[in-house]
């Protein structure tokens, strides 16, 4: 079976992982921009990260016969710094015409703070102005439900955003319905244990994508 992994962070994957993915039938991946495991010190650091995503990683993936595509943004974990966020957002428009860039993502909220919401709105505006698809990261923390509600209402209130071009990712049993009711695509993060397991009572809807790797 051949399949696409729609959400993976290849920059933190080893060459062995690529071998296993290719062996398992992965023919293409899409990699959202995300947190590096530490807060970056400047927009220049993001510039190199975007080069890594758009130029370096596609070449690495190609060695294993895998097509690599990416999404650009400043992620929610670093969005608390609004000034830095603005500098990073300013870097993105010239890169949107890159043939391997799919859109803006994964944007969203982490702790649902005022600053995170400001940065999120700036990036929704960026996507709208450049007619880009949007990949949404919903909080992994206890406020996932509230964060998903805030994200959905901001997106719904922007008339320029077409719901069918938005994927709400990391949905769980209690947020899946909200995303679907708003007309967005919904992604489930599958874990071996804990979230979205049969005992947790998940019922799959239409337009739900599954995947095995998350970040
Ligand atoms: Zn991710």
Domains and CATH numbers, the chain: 3-209 (3.20.20.140)
The pLDDT value recorded for residue 144 is 85
Query: Quick one: DSSP state of residue 49?
Result: H
In tens, the pLDDT along 14-24 reads 999 999 999 99
Mean pLDDT of 149-159: 96
Give me ligand 1 centre to Cα 203, in Å.
23
Q: Is the pLDDT of residue 169 over 60?
A: yes
Please tell me the predicted confidence (pLDDT) of residue 145: 87
CA of 204 to the centre of ligand 1 (A): 21
Distance 100 CA to ligand 1 centre (A): 17
What is the average pLDDT score of the chain? 90
Q: Which of 44-48, 54-58, 73-77, 185-189 has the lowest mean pLDDT?
A: 185-189
71 CA to middle of ligand 1, Å?
A: 10
pLDDT exceeding 70 applies to what percent of the chain? 89
Residues linked to residue 67 through DSSP beta bridges, in sequence order: 28
Torsions phi, psi for 96 (to 5 deg): -70, -20
* Pairwise CA distance, residues 126 & 176, whole Å: 26
Q: C-alpha 23: how far from its chain's center?
A: 25
Alpha carbon distances (Å) from 127 to 38, 124, 135, 161 = 26, 5, 10, 8
CA 32 – ligand 1 centroid, Å: 6
Q: Residue 210: what pLDDT?
A: 42
| Residue with the two structure tokens 């010239």 | 94
Q: How far is the CA of 162 from the centre of ligand 1 (A)?
A: 22
Sheet holding 101-108, edge to edge: 3-5, 26-32, 67-72, 101-108, 133-137, 166-171, 185-188, 208-209
Residue 194 has pLDDT above 70, yes or no: no
Confidence tier at 113 by pLDDT (50, 70, 90): very high
CA of 8 to the centre of ligand 1 (A): 6
Beta strand extents in the chain (DSSP E only):
3-5, 26-32, 67-72, 101-108, 133-137, 166-171, 185-188, 208-209
Please name every residue paired with 171 in a beta bridge, in sequence order, or none if there are none.
188
pLDDT band at residue 207, thresholds of 50, 70 and 90? very low
Ligand 1 center–CA 199 separation, angstroms: 24
The neighbouring-strand residues paired with 69 are 30
Q: How far apart are CA 150 and CA 108, in angstroms?
A: 9
């Amino acid at each position: 079976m051949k399949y696409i992994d729609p959400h993976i962070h290849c920059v933190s994957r080893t060459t062995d992982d690529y071998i296993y993915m290719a062996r398992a039938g992965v023919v293409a991946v899409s990699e959202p921009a995300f947190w590096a495991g530490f807060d970056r010190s400047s927009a220049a650091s993001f510039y190199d990260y975007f080069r890594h995503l758009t130029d370096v990683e596609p070449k690495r993936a190609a060695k294993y016969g895998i097509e690599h595509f990416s999404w650009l943004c400043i992620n929610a974990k670093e969005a608390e710094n609004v000034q830095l966020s603005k500098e990073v957002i300013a870097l993105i428009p010239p890169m949107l015409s890159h043939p391997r860039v799919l859109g803006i993502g994964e944007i969203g909220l982490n702790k649902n703070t005022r600053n995170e919401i400001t940065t999120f709105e700036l990036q929704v505006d960026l996507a709208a102005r450049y007619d880009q698809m949007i990949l949404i990261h919903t909080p992994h923390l206890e406020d996932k439900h509230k964060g998903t509600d805030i994200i959905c209402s901001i997106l719904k209130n922007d008339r320029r955003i077409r719901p069918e071009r938005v994927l709400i990712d990391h949905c769980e049993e209690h947020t899946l319905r909200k995303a679907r009711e708003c007309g967005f695509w919904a992604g489930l993060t599958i874990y071996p244990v804990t979230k979205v397991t049969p005992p947790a009572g998940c019922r799959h809807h239409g337009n739900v994508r599954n995947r095995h790797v998350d970040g």
